[in-house]
């Protein structure tokens, strides 16, 4: 399995010549979803969901389909009947050759005065977990977590405790578009071997367009 960072919270996963993209949004590469057989969207916030990108991907490839929650599906499904699928916690499905589980229900709290929206995470092939904008624990072991390292709704102590609870073999940063290069190096130290300890997870960070092979 090959994972490529497409900017911010968006990644592209490829296996056996097939491709799947998660969370192409306003902070990602403009054509992040191009050529994907399947697109997964965790929630409706603009940094995770670009209606323009989804429509372009669906129009370019009649075989492309989307799996997401209702708030996103309602915005694109009418134009593409049968190709936009609504999912929620506990659902399972297959897309682009991946077996996928859905975990989670709500976006993390940004502020008590801001209403919470729905958010789901996707576990692919039982090994790679993208939680969207929440620190969801899927209730089973995870080899690789795509870690929302910096957001208006989290702090580094919560990120560290999340990794301690999840105990993945590998954590790769996502949700990092708001970090400067200087801030990223600080997170690298805190989440790496010199930090307070994150349960043995190997911590890594990919630049947009950079890839890694996952076992």
Write out pLDDT tens, residues 97-151.
999 999 999 999 999 999 999 999 999 999 999 999 999 999 999 999 999 999 9
pLDDT-above-70 percentage for the chain:
100
pLDDT band at 193 (very low <50, low <70, confident <90, very high): confident
Q: pLDDT tens digit string along 20-36?
A: 999 999 999 999 999 99
**Count of structural domains within the chain:** 1
Which structural domain range is residue 152 located in?
2-213
Q: What is the CATH number of the domain that holds 140?
A: 3.60.15.10
pLDDT band at 215 (very low <50, low <70, confident <90, very high): confident
CA-atom Rg of the chain in angstroms: 16
Contact 120, 100 (CB under 8 A): no
3-state secondary structure of 160: helix
- The predicted structure's pLDDT at residue 55: 94
- Distance, in Å, from the CA atom of 96 to the CA atom of 182, rounded to the nearest integer, reads 37
Contacts of 14 (CB under 8 A, 6+ apart): 1, 2, 4, 20
Q: Which residues pair with 84 in a beta bridge?
A: 66
């Amino acid at each position: 399995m090959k994972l490529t960072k497409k900017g911010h919270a968006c990644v592209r996963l490829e296996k056996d010549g097939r491709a799947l993209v998660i969370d192409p949004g306003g902070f990602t590469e403009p054509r992040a979803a191009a050529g994907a057989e399947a697109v997964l969207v965790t929630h409706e916030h603009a940094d995770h969901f670009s209606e323009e990108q989804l429509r372009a991907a669906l129009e370019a490839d009649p075989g492309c389909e989307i799996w997401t929650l209702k708030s996103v599906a309602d915005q694109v499904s009418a134009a593409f009947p049968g190709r936009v699928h609504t999912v929620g916690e506990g659902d399972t499905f297959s897309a682009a050759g991946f077996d996928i589980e859905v975990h989670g229900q709500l976006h993390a709290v940004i502020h008590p005065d801001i209403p919470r929206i729905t958010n789901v995470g996707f576990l692919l092939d039982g090994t790679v977990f993208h939680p969207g904008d929440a620190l969801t624990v899927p209730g089973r072991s995870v080899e690789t977590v795509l870690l929302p390292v910096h957001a208006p709704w989290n702090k580094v102590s919560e990120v560290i405790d999340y990794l301690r609870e999840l105990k993945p073999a590998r954590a790769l940063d996502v949700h990092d578009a708001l970090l400067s290069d200087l801030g990223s190096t600080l997170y690298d130290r805190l989440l790496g071997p010199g930090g307070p300890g994150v349960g043995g997870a190997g911590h890594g960070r990919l630049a947009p367009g950079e890839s890694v092979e996952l076992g």
